[in-house]
Structure 1
Amino acid sequence: MTAATAPVATDLQLAGIDWSRSGLQLGYGRVRHSDNVYDGSVIPIPIAVISSGDGPTVLLVAGTHGDEYEGQILLHELARTLTPDHVRGTLILVPSANHAAVSAGTRVSPIDNGNLNRSYPGEPDGSPTGQVAHLIGRGLLPRVDVVIDLHSGGSNSTYVSCMFLYRGPTPALWTRKVAAARAMALPYTLVVPPRLEPGSLSTAGDDAGILTLSTELGGGGTVDRSVLGRARTGLAALLAGTGVLYSDPAKVLAHQEPERVRSQTVWIELVDDSAVTTNVGGLFEPLVDLGQFVRAGEPVGKVHFLDELDRPPREFAAAVDGVAAIIRRPTLVRPGCHLVHVAPLLADIQD
């Protein structure tokens, strides 16, 4: 099913947006909820629509997890900077999708503990998080040609700055994903199995047959200036490549950045043996740096035991050759925590 044929939810709770109009419109999605704070009221999900009429429609989403900040900043900049004169078609911007989590600076919603990226397709009368998933998955997704879902590592991890691509779902869409990753030219492109998380926006977009792209931009629950600058430049190039922005006005998005040499992206992949997982609790000490190439059998981290002062720490080694693509951020770990993900190089896609 494509964006042109997918049914749009008729029960969509959206205020201030008239899809027949051109120009800049600022509105919000209505998430119904009643508790001690929202007493028979709504949680507003801010939405900006910038349209010049005919052309592709691109949906950009950030704030799916409230402690992931680079994407939120980029979409706020787009909403303030772009005008309909810059656009050929329509841009839909949702900078704080899980607004309750964004307001609290937490990964999941403090209202219902909902993880928005595990909640698609959502329910119109469900929990607040389920309603947001329905708003995006059933209300916005069927209107668009391209989805860009901007994530970072959040408070619990740091990633190499990368485009995060689900394989598939068809050869044609996969070819377009590869081209998009090359256009954005982040330092890495991390490829993961098809339908990695069935309740994610990436899976929802793939199931709808829409070109769906995601990123992981640093992390650690903060903003890295270098990562943000590279993402700002790459997003401008990607949007120009989709045809939704005129080429020259795309430079507006990078107006604060110095001239950058845009190198080619390095292709890596998450495999079954990528995760290095602790089976003990304690204090995690990383033994490798983010982006470092490691060999199978090489120690990548150790865990120090809290209550056994005479016990040596337990070391954990990589199972495969590859790049240290994800490193856990909080030092305190429990059994089952992933310490490092080692992502092998994808030689068949390297430029």
Structure 2
Amino acid sequence: MAPLTHTIERIRGIDFAARGKQLGHLSIEHSNNEFDGAVIPVPIALLAGSDGPTVLLTAGTHGDEYEGQVLLHELIRTLDPGSIRGRIIVLPSLNVLAVREGTRVSKVDGANLNRALPGNAAGGPTEQIARILDAGLLPLADFALDIHSGGSVNEYVPSVFVYAGPTREVWDRKVAAVEAFGQPYCVVVEPNYVSGSISGAADRAGVLMISTELGGRGTVNRRLLADARTGLYNLLAHVGVLDGGTPQSGGATGGDGRHRKDVAYVQLGAGAAVMARAGGLFEPAVDLGQRVGAGDLVGRVHFTEELDRPASEYRAHIDGLIATLRHPTLVQTGSTLVNIAVPLAAPSRLDN
């Protein structure tokens, strides 16, 4: 367990050295026409039992991604702190303004929380949340999980999403966590894949972390939620804060109870996207998870106001797997239609 810290600046109602269940909030300072009270509270829970590791669980980093929010609300309500070895810090609505609006980013500042770390204590709401996470919460953690989905505009194959490296020893531990969570796919990206991400900050801080991409379409998929529930408890057992992988009595069921071990590893690179060259109506020609070869048709875009103009065809530029699929039919120039991931023979073959 990281050193016990009684208080963290701008976190209210939480004593990180205390046992049991505590509910509090991050005190985000912001005053405008809507928030005249100057404080936006971001909910946080601490579940602490005996000595052991500290786990940081976050969801709602993007407000229109819902499976993680549901899972973490359930966990706060149903998990008995007496069954925990260590501490679990839970923020189910990390970007609370975006969560309230049901949008990827908040209209208050338009900033992407997963691009904002290390943040700025004197900045806008998103930068302040990022700073508390980077400087206050990540340093407490031995392990972190940030639960994402595809949001309103994308659907992902159900997967763990992980940054490669940064060292062989850390990578091996990430693979073990991936296997414990047990999703059908593991999407691997390069170290420091995007600037300002929580995963990148965890790597820099030496905190073991994995993320997820669980479906999407701006809704909750019942089967994916059940599988992820089972995976979450298996993961908490794997990192040593819980005994076994069974959800607590009184909580929701954990899916079919199977621990999936046949994880398919795929790599997503900077050139994975097939993007629209013009706006119109997207007609997909592939299904999520489908294997494609270079040159295969992946979709068409129909031009809404040019009645005699043939639809524009889009084809795969590489061999691979359809890892994401655009959900809203209406697209604009630059909209990502699909992302094509390249299968990995085995995680041990990654060059770290």
Could you report, residue by residue, the CA deviation over 1:295-315 in whole angstroms, capped at 9, with x for unpaired residues?
Answer: 111011111111211111111
1:114 Cα deviation after fit:
1.5
Task: Write the mapping of 1:52-131 to structure 2, written as runs, cut at 5 A.
Answer: 52-131=49-128
Equivalent-residue separation in structure 1 for 2:99 and 2:189 (angstroms): 26
Equivalent-residue separation in structure 2 for 1:192 and 1:242 (angstroms): 23
Equivalent-residue separation in structure 2 for 1:37 and 1:90 (angstroms): 36
State TM-score, norm by structure 1. Answer: 0.94
Equivalent-residue separation in structure 2 for 1:105 and 1:248 (angstroms): 31
1:289 Cα deviation after fit:
0.5
For 1:278, the aligned partner's letter is: A
Aligned to 2:228, the other structure's residue is in SS state: helix
1:327 is the counterpart of 2:325:
yes
Q: Which structure 1 residue ranges, 4+ long, deviate > 4 Å from structure 2? A: 7-11, 248-254
Equivalent-residue separation in structure 2 for 1:194 and 1:288 (angstroms): 29
8 Å contact 1:233–1:254 — kept in the other structure? no
Task: Write the mapping of 1:194-205 to structure 2, written as runs, cut at 5 A.
Answer: 194-205=191-202
1:170 is the counterpart of 2:167:
yes
Equivalent-residue separation in structure 1 for 2:344 and 2:200 (angstroms): 22
Aligned to 1:85, the other structure's residue is in SS state: helix
1:332 Cα deviation after fit:
1.2
Equivalent-residue separation in structure 1 for 2:223 and 2:294 (angstroms): 30
Could you report, residue by residue, the CA deviation over 1:266-290 in whole angstroms, capped at 9, with x for unpaired residues?
Answer: 1111124321112121111111000
1:210 is the counterpart of 2:207:
yes
8 Å contact 2:61–2:114 — kept in the other structure? yes
Relative to structure 1, the CA distance from residue 292 to residue 249 in structure 2 (aligned partners, 3 Å threshold; closer, same or farther) is: closer
Relative to structure 1, the CA distance from residue 261 to residue 178 in structure 2 (aligned partners, 3 Å threshold; closer, same or farther) is: closer
For 2:54, the aligned partner's letter is: T
Residue 246 of structure 1: which of 243, 247, 254 is its match? Answer: 243
Percent identical? 51
Task: Write the mapping of 1:132-143 to structure 2, written as runs, cut at 5 A.
Answer: 132-143=129-140
Aligned to 1:306, the other structure's residue is in SS state: coil
**Structure 1: 5+ residue stretches without partners:** none
Equivalent-residue separation in structure 2 for 1:271 and 1:256 (angstroms): 33
For 2:61, the aligned partner's letter is: T
1:255 Cα deviation after fit:
2.4
1:258 Cα deviation after fit:
3.8
Relative to structure 1, the CA distance from residue 174 to residue 226 in structure 2 (aligned partners, 3 Å threshold; closer, same or farther) is: same
Aligned to 2:114, the other structure's residue is in SS state: helix
For 2:341, the aligned partner's letter is: A
Over aligned residue pairs, what C-alpha RMSD do you find? 2.1
Relative to structure 1, the CA distance from residue 258 to residue 202 in structure 2 (aligned partners, 3 Å threshold; closer, same or farther) is: same
Q: Which residue of 1 aligns with 2:339?
A: 341
Residue 309 of structure 2: which of 311, 322, 332 is its match? Answer: 311
Count of matched residue positions in the alignment of Structure 1 and Structure 2: 348
1:350 Cα deviation after fit:
8.6
Equivalent-residue separation in structure 2 for 1:101 and 1:190 (angstroms): 25
Q: Which residue of 2 aligns with 1:230?
A: 227
Relative to structure 1, the CA distance from residue 241 to residue 254 in structure 2 (aligned partners, 3 Å threshold; closer, same or farther) is: farther
1:261 Cα deviation after fit:
6.3
Could you report, residue by residue, the CA deviation over 1:227-270 in whole angstroms, capped at 9, with x for unpaired residues?
Answer: 11111111111111000111165465662534446351111111
1:53 Cα deviation after fit:
3.4
Equivalent-residue separation in structure 1 for 2:129 and 2:159 (angstroms): 26
Q: Which residue of 1 aligns with 2:299?
A: 301
Aligned to 1:154, the other structure's residue is in SS state: coil
**Structure 2: 5+ residue stretches without partners:** none
Relative to structure 1, the CA distance from residue 266 to residue 345 in structure 2 (aligned partners, 3 Å threshold; closer, same or farther) is: same
Equivalent-residue separation in structure 1 for 2:257 and 2:43 (angstroms): 32
8 Å contact 1:8–1:140 — kept in the other structure? no
Could you report, residue by residue, the CA deviation over 1:312-335 in whole angstroms, capped at 9, with x for unpaired residues?
Answer: 111111111111000111111111
8 Å contact 2:182–2:259 — kept in the other structure? no
For 1:330, the aligned partner's letter is: P
Equivalent-residue separation in structure 2 for 1:248 and 1:336 (angstroms): 43
Equivalent-residue separation in structure 1 for 2:11 and 2:314 (angstroms): 49
Equivalent-residue separation in structure 2 for 1:122 and 1:9 (angstroms): 23
State TM-score, norm by structure 2. Answer: 0.94
1:13 is the counterpart of 2:10:
yes
Q: Which residue of 1 aligns with 2:286?
A: 288
1:54 Cα deviation after fit:
1.2
